[in-house]
Amino acid sequence: MRRPRLSPSRLLSFLLMSSACTVTPRDEQTTGIATLSTTIGAGSESSSGDDGDPTGMKLDAAGDSGGVSEIAEVFGHSATTLYRLDPTTKQVTVVGDFVGCDASIIDIALDADSNMYGAAFGSLWSIDRTTAACTHIADGEYPTSLSFVPAGTVDPDREALVGFVDADYIRIDTQSGAVTPLGTLAGGLASSGDLVAVAGGGTYLTVTGGDLCGTLDCVIELDPSDGTLLANFGTVPYPEVFGLAFWAGRAYGFARSGDLFEIDFVDNQVTTTAIQIPGAPASLEFFGAGSTTSAPPAEG
């Protein structure tokens, strides 16, 4: 069963919500999973192109120069809890429960300065990636597949927050929450979970549909300017890969089953390696994932 999908017509007509749906966190005991204790400093201005993170938290990593982030981290999350994966050591830590969000978080995305944004059913949020605290941006209906794409793709001068609703590729303004259509994925394919892009590297999406991607999800590469298919790397041995992140030439899949795995791109195919999460709650379901667009595009 996939996360509920929103029709394009509903997506493009924003509905102001008169009341918020408060989520009671599921019992996600974190015994055995380390709690994130190192606070990463703040510094540079955002390069996301929409005047930065409303929380004011910045990361002095890649900065406006478009450099590569030196902080090895990607993020995954359940409906209520944010997790951090160190892609070098493969250690998973709990950042914390989302605080201040009025609904389940269905996906996240990080810009070049690691400012984090999240979509919920009915709202868009800025999220402090060191505490999981949420700041409201807008009400509306947003996709379950989110990523920033680099400057020069959708926008000539700045990064853009984009996403997929099934096969429909859209842009989301990080200040107003306004949605603009960009294109449509062909070949009977539709987003099955998540999108990730890297400056100087590729843009990848997990999909279902077509002749190849039925029971299990496929990983494809697409053109970030309009969402057209560039390559299909075939299936991964997991269904419902709701989260996708990237670091140093490898992708990281976060499945609804609670499975976490590394994805290698070899000879136009993908191979996967499971990553263990000691002490993970039995009820863990990943809803999404994200990584900065300034992640290293290749190893070394």
Nearest Cα residue to 205 out of 194, 190, 189, 217? 194
Residue pair 111/46 in contact by the 8 Å Cβ criterion: yes
Judging by DSSP bridges, how do beta strands 250-255 and 260-266 pair with one another?
Answer: antiparallel
pLDDT (0 to 100) of residue 300: 74
- Strands 123-127 and 116-120, by their bridges, are antiparallel
- What is the model's pLDDT at position 68? 66
Instruction: Determine the Cα–Cα distance for residues 298 and 41; give it in Å rounded to an integer.
Output: 25
Q: Are strands 116-120 and 105-110 parallel, antiparallel or unpaired?
A: antiparallel
Q: Is 18 exposed, middle or buried (0-12, 13-18, 19+ CB in 10 A)?
A: exposed
Q: What integer pLDDT is reported at residue 2 of this predicted model?
A: 47
154 token code pair: 């959708």
Residue 35 forms beta bridges with which residues? 94
The span from the CA of 93 to the CA of 150, in Å, is 28
What pLDDT sits at residue 146? 98
What pLDDT, on the 0 to 100 scale, is given for residue 46? 37
Instruction: Parse the chain into domains and list their residue ranges.
Output: 30-290
Q: How far is CA 39 from the centre of its chain?
A: 21
Biggest CA–CA distance in the chain, Å, is 51
Res 3: pLDDT: 53
Dihedral angle sign, alpha carbons of residues 205, 209, 212, 215: positive
CB atoms within 10 A of CB 8: 16
Which is it for strands 92-97 and 34-35: parallel, antiparallel or unpaired?
parallel
pLDDT at residue number 201 = 96
Q: Are the C-beta atoms of 241 and 253 separated by less than 8 Å?
A: yes
When the candidates are 2.40.128, 3.10.450, 2.120.10, 2.60.120, the CATH number that belongs to 30-290 is: 2.120.10
**What is the model's pTM?**
0.80
Mean pLDDT by 10 residues, the chain (300 residues): 45 36 37 43 37 37 53 97 98 98 96 98 97 98 96 97 98 97 96 96 96 93 97 95 98 98 95 96 97 94
Helical ranges in the chain per DSSP H:
8-11
